[in-house]
């Protein structure tokens, strides 16, 4: 079991994710990644394996599922006319 981390450590981990999101999307699409503020700890398609490797590292970590793609959403207005 991993040690709990401070709110500051959590913020630093999220900063790392935001700085490296595009790299993760390029290299690890549809995979789980375990990471912390220092970088990537483990990755793979099976969450159990990624968790196992991350816990063995004895470092604080977060898990992120890298999406298959990034798409934008456009919301269209629909007006209902009289019939």
The predicted model gives 52-67 an average pLDDT of: 93
Task: Give residue 83's pLDDT band: very low, low, confident or very high (50, 70, 90).
Answer: very low
The pTM is what?
A: 0.78
pLDDT value, residue 4: 81
* pLDDT of 69 strictly over 90: no
In three-state secondary structure terms, 78 is coil
User: Is 33 among the domain residues?
Assistant: yes
Partnered with residue 35 across adjacent β-strands are 40, 62
Number of domains within the chain: 1
CB atoms within 10 A of CB 46: 10
Domain assignment present for 74: no
Q: Which domain holds residue 60?
A: 7-65
Q: What is the pLDDT of residue 1?
A: 55
Around Cβ 34, how many Cβ atoms within 10 Å? 23
7, 14 contact by CB (below 8 A) = no
């Amino acid at each position: 079991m991993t040690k709990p981390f401070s709110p500051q450590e959590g913020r630093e981990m999220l900063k790392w994710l935001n700085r490296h999101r595009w790299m993760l999307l390029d290299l690890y699409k549809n995979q789980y990644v375990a990471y912390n503020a220092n970088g990537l700890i483990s990755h793979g398609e099976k969450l159990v394996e990624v968790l196992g490797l991350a816990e063995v590292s004895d470092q604080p970590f977060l898990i992120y599922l890298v999406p298959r793609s990034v798409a934008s959403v456009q919301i269209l207005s629909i007006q209902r006319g009289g019939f």
